[in-house]
Amino acid sequence: MTTTVSEAPAGPVVDNPWENAQRQFDDAAALLGLEPGLQAVLRQCKRELIVHFPVKRDNGDVVVFEGFRVQHNLGLGPAKGGIRFHPGVTLDEVRALAMWMTWKCALSGLPYGGAKGGVVVDPKALSLSELERLTRRYATDISVLIGPESDIPAPDVNTTPQIMAWIMDTISMSRGYSTPAVVTGKPLAIGGSRGRNTATGRGVAVITLLTCKRLGVPTSGATVAVQGFGNAGTHAARLLRERGCVVTAVSDSRGGITSPRGIDVDAAIEHKRRTGSLEGFAGGDAISNDDLLELPVDILIPAALENQITSNNAERVHARIVVEAANGPTTPRADAILERRGVTVVPDIVANAGGVIVSYFEWVQDLQSFFWAEDEINRRLETMVEQALTDAWDQADARRVSMRKGAYAVAVDRVAEAMRERGIYP
Ligand code: GLU
């Protein structure tokens, strides 16, 4: 087993997601014995676009925003990956997220490379018309990269089907004809796919149940804590509760609630829909996001942002299984600690792939103008996430490494093979 990651040094550690993503890749390259030239290519991003663009506020003031679109690799096909709107977005974060998309698509067998975009903004501080102007201007500024054959964005943190509709319309206006396949996660009325909105959470729930089955953990009555109550977290919590799990804690960016007897997830979703957050929800006791991670539960689902389980708290994670609905929630140092402590971590590129898998279905449906029934989409989604989990886990068992390393070995090997076949231009 190759472990190039040392465990927690003294004092709190601040993690850079891009350094962590490169470190995870380097571990996989070492495991596979990847040739140095190919390793040098794959540990960098192919294209990194930084844009600064003005947006008129409703009061007439002009504010300049910073945004990014990064394509990590195009070996297997057009670039694919979401766009996030968040005040904490950085170029390094977007680079890491783009690289993770490359591995996620490869592991799921999708004909895509990896990309990601982001704007440094708190969308909750904008009016709806300000948000529309920001989205349309950002879409215009990254239109040099995006397109149905080149790079296809999708929702991510704080971006919605409505925002995808504005991107689709903006690109269509400049081309003079409708291009639904330029973006996925759209509303149904303009070429969105049935099942896309629930796909990430559905994939997380399916993966969680399959993981419990393979480990011999009964799912009926299994306790679950979910950090992050956005698109992925809400649907994962709802579906797991439907399948007999007891969701004992949920949280959003403002804090969470816990109840050992279980939370009424539907009521929590309804409260969040009505008020915009979980604050004031009466179905349990208040709990902080940090404390939620340390609850004595069977299954912990980080579904918010990266760097939540770190070398600072990994010793205190009590869950037996961690299912990464978020991208990059566990740092490499924390991974080493969890591995030593016998915690099974289902890595992000396996656990949350349901979203991009149904994005792929949406893109195929748009290109063919032929739309599928929801049960067919859900069936195909379940087959594909199960295959990715099996490939990653079998590889991990064969190499006697963690599931993350097994998943990376499969994904990096697939991308490397495509790169070798294509050769180096010119
Ligand atoms: N943002 C999601 C992810 O991180 C979905 C990406 C997509 O559908 O292209 O996987």
Give the residues across from 79 on adjacent strands.
113, 151
What CATH number is given to the structural domain containing 172? 3.40.50.10860
What CATH number is given to the structural domain containing 268? 3.40.50.720
pLDDT at 10: 54
pLDDT at 14: 78
Residues 38 and 185 in one domain: yes
d(CA 322, CA 335): 11
> Where residue 11 falls among pLDDT bands split at 50, 70, 90?
low
Structural domains of the chain, count: 2
pLDDT at 3: 40
Residues 306 and 205 in one domain: yes
Residues 239 and 257 in one domain: yes
Residue 24 CB less than 6 A away from ligand 1 = no
Residues 150 and 207 in one domain: no
**Looking at the domain assignment, is residue 370 inside a domain?**
no
Looking at 140, 163, 190, which one is the last position of a domain?
Answer: 190
pLDDT tens column, 220-229:
999 999 999 9
**Looking at the domain assignment, is residue 246 inside a domain?**
yes
Q: Which of 352, 360, 384, 385 to mutate to test the pocket of ligand 1 (most atoms within 8 A of CB)?
A: 352
| Cα-to-chain-centroid distance, residue 58 | 32
Q: What average pLDDT does the segment 376-387 reach?
A: 98
Looking at 294, 311, 346, which one is the last position of a domain?
Answer: 346
Ligand 1 atom index nearest CA of 356: 8
Interstrand relation of 151-152 and 299-302 (parallel, antiparallel or unpaired): unpaired
pLDDT at 6: 45
Q: How far, in Å, is the centroid of ligand 1 from the Cα of 146?
A: 15
116 is catalytic: yes
The mean predicted confidence, pLDDT, of the chain is: 96
Residues 142 and 204 in one domain: no
> Where residue 386 falls among pLDDT bands split at 50, 70, 90?
very high
Residues 98 and 125 in one domain: yes
For atom 10 of ligand 1, the residue with the nearest CA is 356
Residues 222 and 173 in one domain: no
Q: Which of 151, 200, 358 to mutate to test the pocket of ligand 1 (most atoms within 8 A of CB)?
A: 200
pLDDT at 13: 72
Q: What average pLDDT does the segment 347-365 reach?
A: 98
**Looking at the domain assignment, is residue 377 inside a domain?**
no
Q: How far, in Å, is the centroid of ligand 1 from the Cα of 340?
A: 30
For atom 7 of ligand 1, the residue with the nearest CA is 356
Nearest C-alpha neighbor of 188 from the set 164, 205, 170, 208: 164
**Looking at the domain assignment, is residue 369 inside a domain?**
no
**Looking at the domain assignment, is residue 355 inside a domain?**
no
pLDDT at 290: 97
Q: What average pLDDT does the segment 96-119 reach?
A: 98
Q: Which helix (H) or strand (E) element contains residue 247?
A: strand 246-252
**Looking at the domain assignment, is residue 398 inside a domain?**
no
Residue 359 CB less than 6 A away from ligand 1 = yes
**Looking at the domain assignment, is residue 230 inside a domain?**
yes
From 116, 186, 272, 405, the catalytic residue: 116
Does pLDDT of 298 surpass 80? yes
Least confident residue range of 3-17, 65-79, 143-157, 409-423:
3-17
Residue 231 CB less than 6 A away from ligand 1 = no
Residue 305, domain extent: 199-346
Residue 80 CB less than 6 A away from ligand 1 = yes
Q: How far, in Å, is the centroid of ligand 1 from the Cα of 368?
A: 21
Q: How far, in Å, is the centroid of ligand 1 from the Cα of 395?
A: 24
Residue 295 CB less than 6 A away from ligand 1 = no
**Looking at the domain assignment, is residue 16 inside a domain?**
no
Nearest C-alpha neighbor of 421 from the set 83, 22, 75, 20: 75
Residues 165 and 283 in one domain: no
Does pLDDT of 5 surpass 70? no
Helices 354-368, 91-108: crossing angle, 10 deg rounding: 70
d(CA 219, CA 211): 10
Residue 17 CB less than 6 A away from ligand 1 = no
Residue 154 CB less than 6 A away from ligand 1 = yes
Residues 163 and 77 in one domain: yes
pLDDT tens column, 164-209:
999 999 999 999 999 999 999 999 999 999 999 999 999 999 999 9
Residues 163 and 239 in one domain: no
Residue 113 CB less than 6 A away from ligand 1 = no
pLDDT tens column, 232-280:
999 999 999 999 999 999 999 999 999 999 999 999 999 999 999 999 9
CA distances from residue 101 to 95, 177, 242, 396 in whole angstroms, order as listed: 10, 29, 29, 20
Residues 103 and 240 in one domain: no
Q: How far, in Å, is the centroid of ligand 1 from the Cα of 84?
A: 10
Residues 35 and 178 in one domain: yes
pTM across the whole model: 0.96
Looking at 286, 319, 346, which one is the last position of a domain?
Answer: 346
Please state the length of the chain. 426
pLDDT at 120: 98
Do residues 150 and 106 lie in contact, with contact meaning Cβ atoms separated by under 8 Å?
no
